[in-house]
Structure 1
Amino acid sequence: MLVHICCSVDSHFFLEKLQADFPNEKLIGFFYDPNIHPYSEYQLRLLDVQRSCKKLGIEIIEGQYDFENWMKAVKGLETQPEKGSRCEICFDKRFEVSANKALELGENKFTTTLLVSPLKSQEQLKRSGEIFHKKHGVEFIAVDYRAGGGTQDQSRVTKNEQLYRQDYCGCLFGLTMQREQQNRLMDEMFSPISNQILPASIEERLQMYKYRMQLEDENISYKIIKQKFLNYRQFSFRLIKGKQEIIPAYALSYSTLPRKKAQGRVEFENKNIHYFNREEIKFITLKDFNLACGFSYKNINSLIYNPPSYEEEYKFRTFLACGNYDLTPIVVVEEIPSNKLTIELNAKTYEDVQEKLIKI
């Protein structure tokens, strides 16, 4: 039996139940989810599914990540709610590909882990499955593992197996609506051109979940915990001399301006720190930044495109004795300008939750 898989939270419990209920069936997992966005989230879910299937002794096949074709398929349905017509088109596309994969492998049955997801309509899934049964002759196995306390059992399995528990279905449009309803920053969509790993980002979680697989291979015990912290995202930053000359400059993480803009001049210097006469802004030259941190950046552009880690930037804030809760804008420049300056900084700090892995 081919089993279409969407994520490990749904698949691990679902596959365990299938193994018990269909002991004579060889189960083949098929991870086909072109709706997942961004791609780093797709990679993270695939990684956890691969781990899950390995633990269960189930073969896993990865389908094509044809996101562009998925976008074309749901065009015009971007604002449809969860369980609406966009989801139905999404199911149809995944069922079509899954049914064809089953035929390709010589299987005459297929099912989907979407059946166990509380975010999905089972009736909607069954309708799609019946259509493809008639069309392709591949029987759709519509099992209900939510009933009789199944959802609670699934939650227990997820916790015991320390599976990656994503907090949105997967597609860009569902994520957008969910974050708007929650009045939360959609920080999943931040991906710096520098490839800097942002706190509580998908990329940070991907690194952590890869590391946990390494620990498991080495039989090292661990726990994945959550902690609250103050997160930060920088939308844009510019330093302008005079009316329109843009000066190459870099604003360190956790630099904030209450009104997103400040005008003034560098007023004085003390111990290589140059103080602006507005908004507590501090400037430091690239040379002094390199000396303080042990870096060797040749110019500001190299700093912008290959910045230090957040941890290294935080250490530098500590070096400047700014304090643990400091949000002072700290700007690195090649030379301290004497002209009138305009600083445009759009950034946000916000309460967030971060996953951490601890060895025990």
Structure 2
Amino acid sequence: MLVHICCSVDSHFFLEKLQHDYPNEKLIGFFYDPNIHPYSEYQLRLLDVKRSCKKLGIELLEGEYDFEAWMQAVRGLENEPEKGKRCEVCFDKRFDVSAKKALLLGEKSITTTLLVSPLKSQEQLKLSGDKFFKEHGVEFIFYDYRKDGGTAQQSRVTKDEQLYRQDYCGCIYGLTMQREQQDRLMDEMFSHVSNQTQPSSIEERLEMYHQRDELEDKGIAYKIIREKFLNYRQFSFKLYESGDKIINAYALFYSTLQRKKAQGNIEFSSKNIHYFNREEIKFVTLEFFNSTCNFMYKNTKELIFNPPSVKEEMAFRDTLLTSSYDLSPIIIVDEIPKTKLFIELDAKIYEDVREKLIII
């Protein structure tokens, strides 16, 4: 039987149940989910599914990540709600490819781990599955493992196996509506211009789950915990003089302006910190930044496109400021300007939760 797999949270429990109920049935996992966006999130879910199938002894095949074809399939349905018409089209596309894969492998039946997801309509899934049985002769097997406390069991398995628990289906349109309803920043869609790994980003989680797999390979015990913290995203930053002459500059992590703009002059300097006369802004030279952190940046432009880690930026902030609660903008420049300056900084600090790996 070919089993279409959407994610490890659904698949691990679902596959365990199939193995128990059908011990003589050979199961082949098929990860085909072009709806998942961005690609880093797709990689993260695939990584976790690979680990899950390895634990269960199930062969796993990966389908094509044809995201553009999926986008074309759901065109015009961007504003459909969860369990609406867009989901039907999404199921149809994934079942079509899964059915053809089953035929190619000589399998006569398919099912999907989407059936166990409480966020999906089983009726929609069954209709899509039955449709392809008629068209391709591949039987869709319907299993309801949600009933009789199945959802609670699934949650327990997810926790016990320390699976990656995503908080959106994968679809960019579903995520957009979900974040709007939650009044939350859709930071899944933000990546730093330099590819610096941002806290609680998909990229950070991907790195962490790779580390988890490495610890398991070495037999090292660990736990994945969650912690609350103040997150930060910088959307844009510009420093310029009169006449719109741009000055290469870098604003450190946690730098914010209440009104997103400020203008003024540097009033005085003390211990290599140059104090602006507005918004508690502080300037430091790249030379001072290099000497303090043992970096070797040749100029600020290099720093912009190849910055240190967020942890290193925060360590530098700690050397300048007297309080951990100080959120003053800190700006690094090649040389301290002596003219009137204009600053545009659009950034946001917000409460967030992230996963953390600890060795026990």
The aligned residue for residue 226 of structure 2 is 226
The aligned residue for residue 327 of structure 2 is 327
Q: Distance in 1 between matches of 2:286 and 2:219?
A: 45
Amino acid at match of 2:358: I
Q: Distance in 2 between matches of 1:322 and 1:142?
A: 62
Q: 1:59-74 counterparts in 2 under 5 A?
A: 59-74=59-74
Q: Distance in 2 between matches of 1:214 and 1:260?
A: 43
Q: Distance in 2 between matches of 1:301 and 1:148?
A: 60
- Tell me if 1:202 matches 2:202: yes
- Tell me if 1:344 matches 2:358: no
* Alignment gaps of 5+ in structure 2: none
- Tell me if 1:143 matches 2:143: yes
Secondary structure, in 3 states, of the residue corresponding to 1:226?
strand
Secondary structure, in 3 states, of the residue corresponding to 1:236?
strand
Amino acid at match of 2:229: F
The aligned residue for residue 239 of structure 2 is 239
The aligned residue for residue 170 of structure 2 is 170
Deviations 1:153-197 (A, max 9, x none): 000100100100000011100000000000000000111121100
Q: Distance in 1 between matches of 2:79 and 2:54?
A: 37
- Tell me if 1:157 matches 2:162: no
Q: Distance in 1 between matches of 2:48 and 2:262?
A: 46
Q: Distance in 2 between matches of 1:140 and 1:322?
A: 64
Amino acid at match of 1:118: P
The aligned residue for residue 87 of structure 2 is 87
- Tell me if 1:18 matches 2:18: yes
User: TM-score of the superposition, structure 1-length normalised?
Assistant: 0.99
CA deviation after TM superposition for structure 1 residue 109, in Å: 0.7
- Tell me if 1:284 matches 2:284: yes
Question: Is the CA contact (8 Å cut-off) linking 1:111 and 1:140 kept in structure 2?
Answer: yes
Amino acid at match of 1:192: H
Secondary structure, in 3 states, of the residue corresponding to 1:33?
coil
The aligned residue for residue 31 of structure 2 is 31
Q: Distance in 2 between matches of 1:217 and 1:186?
A: 34
Large movers: runs of 4+ above 6 Å: none
Q: Distance in 2 between matches of 1:237 and 1:321?
A: 22
Q: Distance in 1 between matches of 2:159 and 2:323?
A: 37
User: TM-score of the superposition, structure 2-length normalised?
Assistant: 0.99
Amino acid at match of 2:111: T
Amino acid at match of 2:315: K
Amino acid at match of 1:190: F
Q: Distance in 2 between matches of 1:306 and 1:231?
A: 21
The aligned residue for residue 296 of structure 2 is 296
The aligned residue for residue 77 of structure 1 is 77
Q: Distance in 2 between matches of 1:324 and 1:267?
A: 24
- The percent identity for this pair of structures is 74
Deviations 1:103-130 (A, max 9, x none): 0111001000000000100000000000
Q: Distance in 1 between matches of 2:184 and 2:96?
A: 35
- Tell me if 1:253 matches 2:256: no
Amino acid at match of 1:188: E
Question: Is the CA contact (8 Å cut-off) linking 1:317 and 1:323 kept in structure 2?
Answer: no
Question: Is the CA contact (8 Å cut-off) linking 1:33 and 1:94 kept in structure 2?
Answer: yes
Q: Distance in 2 between matches of 1:243 and 1:262?
A: 16
CA deviation after TM superposition for structure 1 residue 271, in Å: 1.1
CA RMSD of aligned residues (A): 0.6
CA deviation after TM superposition for structure 1 residue 12, in Å: 0.2
CA deviation after TM superposition for structure 1 residue 243, in Å: 3.2
Q: Distance in 2 between matches of 1:124 and 1:181?
A: 24
Secondary structure, in 3 states, of the residue corresponding to 2:199?
coil
* Alignment gaps of 5+ in structure 1: none
Q: Distance in 2 between matches of 1:180 and 1:337?
A: 41
